[in-house]
Amino acid sequence: MTETNLALQANNISVTYHSRTGLFKSFKFQALNNVSFKVKRGETFGVMGRNGCGKSSLLRVLAGVYQADAGELVTHDIATRTLLTLGLGFDATLSGADNAILSMMLQGFSREEAKAYLPAVRNFSELGDFFERPVKTYSSGMRSRLGFSTGITTQTDLLLIDETLAVGDKTFNAKAEKAMMERIDSDQTVIFVSHSGAQVQKICQRAICLERGKLVAEGDVKDVAQEYANINDKKLD
Amino acid sequence: MFIKSLVLAHTMAAMRLKSEASKLYLSYLWWILEPMLYVAVFYFAFSYLLNRGGENFLVFLMCGKIPLMWYTKTLIKNSMSLTTGKGLMGQRDFPKFVFPYSHTLEAAYKETVVYLFLVAFVWLYGFEAGVEWLYLLALVPVMLLLILSTGMVAAYITVYVPDFRMIIAMFTMALLFVSGVFWDVRALPDPRMTELMLIYNPFAFMLDAHRQVLMYRTAPDWTQLGYIAGGAALLLLIMHGWFASQSQRIARRLYS
Confidence band of A37 (pLDDT split at 50, 70, 90): very high
Same domain assignment for residues A9 and A119 = no
Q: Which of A157-166, B71-80, B197-206, B219-228 has the lowest mean pLDDT?
A: A157-166
Of A105, A127, A156, the domain-final residue: A156
- Which chain B residues are closer than 8 Å to A90 by Cβ? 87-88
> For the domain that residue A26 is a member of, what is the CATH number?
3.40.50.300
B15 and A89 within 8 Å at the Cβ level: the answer is no
DSSP A134: B
| pLDDT score, position B90 | 87
Domain ranges of chain B: 2-254
Q: Do residues A94 and A148 both lie within one domain?
A: yes
Of A66, A106, A107, nearest to B251 by CB-CB distance is: A66
A71 and A184 within one domain? yes
Calculate mean pLDDT across residues B200-218.
Answer: 97
d(CA B110, CA B31): 6
Between A26 and B38, whose confidence is greater? B38
Residue B79 pLDDT more than 70? yes
So what's the pLDDT on residue B75? 98
- pLDDT single digits (tens) B113-128: 999 999 999 999 999 9
Share above pLDDT 70 across residues of chain A, in percent, rounded to a whole number = 94
pLDDT recorded at residue A237: 66
**DSSP secondary-structure letter at A164?**
G
Å between A134 CA and nearest CA of chain B: 8
- Residues A199 and A96 both lie in one domain: no
Question: Cβ atoms within 10 A of the Cβ of A202, count?
Answer: 16
Look at residues A98, A123, A156 and tell me which one is the last residue of a structural domain.
Answer: A156
Q: Is the dihedral of CA B89, B91, B97, B102 positive or negative?
A: negative
Question: A212 and A108, same structural domain?
Answer: no
A167 confidence band (pLDDT: 50, 70, 90): low
User: Which residue range is the domain that position A24 belongs to?
Assistant: 3-79+158-236
Question: For residue A119, is pLDDT > 70?
Answer: yes
CA distance B95 to B246: 9
pLDDT value, residue A199: 85
Query: What is the pLDDT at residue A172?
Result: 83
Cα torsion through A186, A188, A189, A192, rounded to 10? -90
Residue A84 lies in a domain: no
- Mean pLDDT within B190-211: 96
Contacts (Cβ under 8 Å, ≥6 apart) of B72: B172, B175, B176
Residue A23 CB contacts under 8 Å (≥ 6 apart), including other chains: none
User: Would A182 be classed as within a structural domain?
Assistant: yes
Same domain, A164 and A112: no
Report the residue from A89, A93, A102 with minimal CB separation from B90.
A89
ipTM for the complex shown? 0.85
**A106 contacts B94? CB cut-off 8 A:** yes
At residue B170, does pLDDT exceed 80? yes
Q: How far is B232 from chain A (nearest CA, A)?
A: 29
Q: How many structural domains comprise chain A?
A: 2
Q: Over 60: is that where the pLDDT of B106 sits?
A: yes
pLDDT tens profile A89-104: 788 889 999 999 999 9
- Is the domain of A68 the same as that of A112? no
- Are residues A94 and A37 part of one domain? no
Specify whether A108 is located in the same domain as A136: yes
Mutation target to probe the B interface, by most B beta carbons within 10 A, among A65, A111, A146 is A65
* CB proximity list for A84: less than 8 A, separation 6 or greater: A147, A148, A151, A152, A159, A160, A161, A162, A164
Q: How far is B248 from chain A (nearest CA, A)?
A: 5
Q: Are A183 and A153 in contact (CB under 8 A)?
A: no
Pairwise pLDDT comparison (B219 vs A187), residue with the higher score:
B219
**Residue range A2-25: mean pLDDT, rounded:** 83
Residues A175 and A191 in one domain: yes
Digit-coded pLDDT (tens) for A120-146: 999 999 999 999 999 989 988 888 888
* Among candidate residues A156, A179, A211, the one where a domain is terminated: A156
Instruction: Please determine, for residue B34, whether its predicted confidence score (pLDDT) is greater than 70.
Output: yes
Residue A15 has pLDDT above 70, yes or no: yes
Q: Which of A17, A65, A111 sits opposite B92 (nearest CB)?
A: A65
HEC string of A13-80 equals EEEEEEEECCCCCEEEEEEEEEEEEEEECCCEEEEEECCCCCHHHHHHHHHCCCCCCEEEEEECCCCC
Nearest-angstrom CA–CA distance, B169 and B167: 5
The confidence score (pLDDT) of residue A34 equals 93
CB contact under 8 A, B88 and A66: no
pLDDT bucket at B154, cuts 50 / 70 / 90: very high
Does any domain span residue A85?
A: no
pLDDT over threshold 70, residue A88: no
Poorest-confidence range of A66-80, B4-18, B175-189?
Answer: A66-80
Residue B197 has pLDDT above 60, yes or no: yes
Assess whether A8 and A67 both reside in one domain.
yes
